Amino acid sequence: MKERLYRITDRLVSYARRKSPWILHMDTGGCNGCSIELFAVLTPRFDIERFGGVSKANPRHTDILLIDGAVTKKIRPRLRRIYEQTPEPKVVIAVGACAISKGIFHDAYNIDGPLDEVMPVDVYVPGCPPKPEAILQGVLKALKLWESRYTV
Amino acid sequence: MAKDNERREKLCYTLPLGPQHPMYVEAENLMVRVDGETITGVEVNIGYMHRGIEELMQRKNYLQGIFLAERICGICSGIHSVTYCEAVENALGIEIPERAKYIRTITLELERLHSHFLFLGVMAYELGLDTGFMYTWRDREHVMDMLETLSGNRVNYGIPTIGGVRRDLPAGEIPGMLKRLEHLRKRAEHYVILFSSDALVRKRTLGKGNLPKGKANSHSIVGPVARASGVNTDIRRDLPYLLYDELEWNVVTRMEGDVQARVMVKAYEIFESISILKQCLNRISRTTPELKTKTSLFVKENEGMSITEAPRGELVYYLVSNGTDRPERMRIRTPTFTNVPSALPIILKGEQLADLPVIVGSVDPCFSCCDRVTIVDERTGESRGVDEAFLRKLGEENGD
**Which domain does B169 fall in, by range?**
53-333
Give the pLDDT score at B116: 93
Q: What is the pLDDT of residues B375-395, one digit of tens each?
A: 444 454 455 555 556 556 655
| CA max distance for chain A | 62
The number of CA neighbours under 13 Å toward the Cβ of A114 is 19
Higher pLDDT, B63 or A152: B63
Query: Which residue in A has a C-alpha nearest to residue B66's C-alpha?
Result: A104
Tell which of B71, B130, B187, B367 to mutate to test the A interface (max A CBs under 10 Å).
B71
* Chain A nearest C-alpha distance from B289 (Å): 30
DSSP-assigned letter for residue B255: S
Residue A144 in any domain: the answer is yes
Residue A140 in any domain: the answer is yes
Residue A8 in any domain: the answer is no
Give the pLDDT score at B94: 92
Give the pLDDT score at B400: 42
Model confidence at A121: pLDDT above 90: yes
Rounded CA separation B371/B384 (Å) = 11
- Domain CATH for B244: 1.10.645.10
- Domain CATH for A55: 3.40.50.12280
Same domain, yes or no: B16 and B101: no
How many CB atoms within 10 Å of residue B25? 20
How many structural domains comprise chain B?
Answer: 2
Rounded CA separation B288/B267 (Å) = 35
pLDDT along chain B (400 residues), means of 10: 70 78 72 86 82 88 91 88 93 92 93 92 88 91 92 89 90 92 94 91 89 90 91 91 90 91 93 93 90 89 92 91 90 86 86 87 75 51 56 56
Mean pLDDT of A73-94: 89
**Which domain does A25 fall in, by range?**
20-150
Write down which residue in B333, B353, B369 finishes a domain: B333
Residue A107 in any domain: the answer is yes
Write down which residue in B333, B356, B374 finishes a domain: B333
Write down which residue in B283, B315, B333 finishes a domain: B333
Give the pLDDT score at B52: 85
* Chain A interface includes B51 (CB < 8 A): yes
ipTM of the complex, rounded to two decimals: 0.89
Higher pLDDT, A97 or B384: A97
Query: Which residue in B has a C-alpha nearest to residue A45's C-alpha?
Result: B138
* Chain B nearest C-alpha distance from A74 (Å): 5
Query: Which residue in A has a C-alpha nearest to residue B119's C-alpha?
Result: A36
Rounded CA separation B328/B373 (Å) = 19
